[in-house]
Amino acid sequence: MKIKRWLVGVCLLAAGVVLIAGSFAVLSAAAQTSAKQAAPAAAKDEMIARGKYVMNAGSCHDCHSPKTMTAQGPVPDATRILSGHPAGEKLPPFKKEDIGPEKWVLFSPGFTASVGPWGVVCSQNLTPDENTGIGLWTEEMFKSALRTGKHMGMGRPISPPMPWAAVGGLSDEDLAAVYAYLKSIPPIKNAVPGPLSVEDYLAK
């Protein structure tokens, strides 16, 4: 009887050890999987935060975000962040004689459109909208546009006042972070018109 009880005790103990070891294995496997999933997500969040920081410091909002006017001047409109010059916003009238290399350069009150010897130029929509923003641009196209000064990295020259050479001087990591941030913001449909010469604009 005594031996039997002793045997049962040993068996129960062994079963307990196996159970505990088993649950440790399951737990640690689960922890490893969630750590594996958490690491890239955390790295992505960090990259997006870096891109946001670079864009704030790089004054991208000055030209690319529509504004609301306040007593302190124009401030980016949080509901339309980085969506470029509002397509429906008409520019105030101006005279051709006032524009030229030795004359004036004009900016719309929200800084999203300018008129100068380079023509009438509106800031582009940088949100990830597929038809009117950069939704279909690859990271390579984005970097190449800013490094070569060519529209989408291969088209017409990017017009002033876009400071593409300065922005293109950012490191590969910073440009990748800016791209990741732009892909993370809400897409906004806004078909910004392309640049026009002053003559073509006034003849419209």
- Which stretches of the chain bind ligand HEC, using CB under 6 A? 55, 58-60, 62-64, 121, 123-124, 126, 145, 151-152, 158-159, 161-163, 167, 178, 194-195
Q: How far is the CB of 69 from ligand HEC (least distance, A)?
A: 18
Q: How far is the CB of 71 from ligand HEC (least distance, A)?
A: 23
Tokens of 68: 């609301």
In 3D space, the residue among 177, 204, 8, 202 whose CA is nearest the CA of residue 97 turns out to be 202
Q: How far is the CB of 20 from ligand HEC (least distance, A)?
A: 55
Q: How far is the CB of 40 from ligand HEC (least distance, A)?
A: 24
Determine the residue type at 159: S
Question: Closer CB to ligand HEC, residue 163 or residue 202?
Answer: 163
Q: How far is the CB of 171 from ligand HEC (least distance, A)?
A: 13
Question: Closer CB to ligand HEC, residue 151 or residue 202?
Answer: 151
Question: Closer CB to ligand HEC, residue 15 or residue 165?
Answer: 165
Radius of gyration of the chain (CA): 29
Question: Closer CB to ligand HEC, residue 40 or residue 92?
Answer: 92
Question: Closer CB to ligand HEC, residue 147 or residue 202?
Answer: 147
Q: How far is the CB of 62 from ligand HEC (least distance, A)?
A: 5
Question: Closer CB to ligand HEC, residue 13 or residue 154?
Answer: 154
Q: For the chain, what is the HEC assignment?
A: CHHHHHHHHHHHHHHHHHHHHHHHHHHHHHHHHHHHHHHHHHHHHHHHHHHHHHHHHCCHHHHHCCEEEECCEEEECHHHCCCCCCCCCCCCCCCHHHECCCCECEECCCCCEEEECCEEEECCCCCCCCCCCCCCCCHHHHHHHHHHCEHHHCCCECCCCCCHHHHHCCCHHHHHHHHHHHHHCCCCCCCCCCCECHHHHHHC
